[in-house]
Amino acid sequence: MGVSVKKSNTWVMMKKYPMIFRTAALLVYLVSVLATSNTAQAILPDPLAKLLNEKGIPPSSISILIKEAGASIPLVSHLADTPRNPASTMKLLTTIAALDLLGPSYRWETKIYLNGTLKAGTLKGDLVLKGSGDPWFVIERFWKLLKNLRAQGLKHIDGDLVIDDHLFDQSAVDTHTLDGQAFRAYNTPPGAALINFSATRIVIRPALNRLTVRAEPPTSTLQIKNKVRVLPGACAGRNGGITITITAHSNRTEVTVGGQYPPTCGEVVLVRSVQPHHQYIYGVFRHLWEEMGGSLAGTVRKGTAAPGNTEFLSFPSVPLGQIVTYINKFSNNVMSRNLLLTLAAEHNGASAKPEQGIAVVQRWLNRQGLELEALNMINGAGLSRQARLTARGLADLLEHAYYSAFASELKASLPLAGYDGSARRYFRDVATKGKLRLKTGRLKHVRAIAGFAETPDNRNWIVVILHHRRSTEPTAGFAVHQNIVKWLYSQR
């Protein structure tokens, strides 16, 4: 007795239309090959796996994404979706968003108002300095602003210097430091009225058989006490342990420089932020103003420019395109934090807060279709243990910038690996000058790079490496990053 077999509709269709099904099968095969290829590309290449093993680096501690600009499949994708601390490579997000939202020609305008009447060079009243958040209001530019005041006929101020820094909400600014070194210049908090980063250069210089100590720029509110002792003998790479003790008063700051120092070591410069913003501005202002022949009868106080005040001077900053270069080349934390607060102020007005700036950046990312998974921006500078980004997120951001209208400004802002900025000591002899542009990031146990590499075959690559060692291991250097980039340049 025969067995009756019911044939499926699929079988019937296969017999009726064999060419269609053979084509469909081929398409399925090609898709599976492409998927396999994609998976293969995501596997860490043997030379890199061997490199990590030789350096004693657990593969789980590092994320790598290397892809050619415009390519759909990366050359290397290792743990690219693992959230990691990006350190200062976070500044790329702040600066790229700012370039697009504000434009490379954007300028900050510091305003000077007269709260009183000006007659025959004398202001009967207060001079109001309204901060705009200018991130690069260095001492040379502050000097130029004061020269412009003199050129417009102001000489004597029969009142106070009033500082209006209400554009940023200082109470919302996190002043916590990661290393407990509150007086280090890299920990300077942002401010709408920020002059010269509130930084003082303490210069110790041998002079005959003694050591001199001076402060730059000079300020009338800072007193330096020289207690440094001469340490005899050859330098031998030692400084004997210079100490700095800071005693703050309401209207001045006293800095005692002590310890021992061998004159054979030559001059040493320590950059510190030893004074509060307002005290620093007032001290520098008074010193420079009197040096120019001006006078200030009063003191300093915090206030606001009132509607009835007369705008006397508007002093523009250098353009944002130049600001971005200073931020990325030299990894300037306070400038990046000021830039994030500027984004907040442009969209929310005065009393801007960091979280408002972060919201502005997030909305920008959404409009660009950029999904930066696990993003935790904190302050826009990467100066945080809680900041997070993924290698893929950073790579997508860089690829967006690579094809943007402001690509040239962004690329020019990145350190030339082995030659300048924060990458000047790394990646030497890896690539021809100008062909490797990398933003670096470094915190304790964290080393990161992100940028662009142009190989000899004129191909352009996006490179992101985020490395976070465990706290029990020695602080990592950039050796593994350098070897990975060398491997990229060895590909043909």
What digits encode the pLDDT tens for the residues 235-269? 876 656 899 999 999 899 999 999 999 998 899 99
Q: Are residues 325 and 463 in the same domain?
A: yes
Q: Are residues 483 and 431 in the same domain?
A: yes
Q: Is residue 262 part of a domain?
A: yes
Q: Are residues 404 and 418 in the same domain?
A: yes
Q: Are residues 247 and 372 in the same domain?
A: no
When divided into structural domains, the chain yields a total of 3
Task: Check residue 95 and give its pLDDT.
Answer: 98
Hey, which bits of 136-196 come out as E strands?
A: 156-157, 161-164
Q: Are residues 422 and 365 in the same domain?
A: yes
Query: How far is CA 329 from each of CA 4, 335, 343, 375, 451, rounded to the nearest angstrom?
Result: 79, 12, 21, 23, 12
Q: Are residues 123 and 249 in the same domain?
A: no
Residue after which a domain boundary falls, among 261, 292, 316: 316
Gap between the terminal Cα atoms of the chain: 68
State the Cα–Cα distance between residues 15 and 77, nearest whole angstrom: 44
Query: How far is CA 181 from each of CA 38, 178, 187, 205, rounded to the nearest angstrom?
Result: 47, 8, 7, 24
- What's phi and psi for 247, nearest 5 deg? -120, 115
State the Cα–Cα distance between residues 1 and 62, nearest whole angstrom: 68
Structure token digits, residue 17: 């239309």
Number of helices (H), then strands (E), in the chain: 12, 19
> For the chain, how big is the Rg over CA atoms in Å?
29
Q: Does the N-terminal peptide bond of residue 307 adopt cis geometry, omega within 30 degrees of 0?
A: no
Q: How far is CA 117 from the centre of its chain?
A: 42
Q: Is residue 356 part of a domain?
A: yes
What digits encode the pLDDT tens for the residues 448-484? 999 999 999 999 999 999 999 875 555 567 999 999 9
Q: Is the pLDDT of residue 141 over 50?
A: yes
Hey, which bits of 83-131 come out as E strands?
A: 109-119, 122-130
The whole domain housing 157 covers 109-172+278-316
State the Cα–Cα distance between residues 279 and 300, nearest whole angstrom: 8
Structure token digits, residue 486: 């060398």
Q: Are residues 373 and 225 in the same domain?
A: no
Place of tokens 């005290």: 279
Task: Check residue 4 and give its pLDDT.
Answer: 39
Looking up residue 148, the CATH number of its domain turns out to be: 3.50.80.20
491 falls in which pLDDT band (50, 70, 90)? Answer: very high
What digits encode the pLDDT tens for the residues 312-323? 999 999 999 999
Q: Are residues 386 and 447 in the same domain?
A: yes
Q: Is residue 297 part of a domain?
A: yes
Taking Cα atoms as reference points, which of 104, 90, 93, 107 lies closest to residue 406? 104
Task: Check residue 476 and give its pLDDT.
Answer: 62
What digits encode the pLDDT tens for the residues 46-75? 999 999 999 889 999 999 999 999 999 999
Q: Are residues 432 and 467 in the same domain?
A: yes
Residues in the chain: 492
pTM of the model: 0.90
Q: Are residues 331 and 463 in the same domain?
A: yes
State the Cα–Cα distance between residues 134 and 145, nearest whole angstrom: 13
Q: Are residues 228 and 372 in the same domain?
A: no
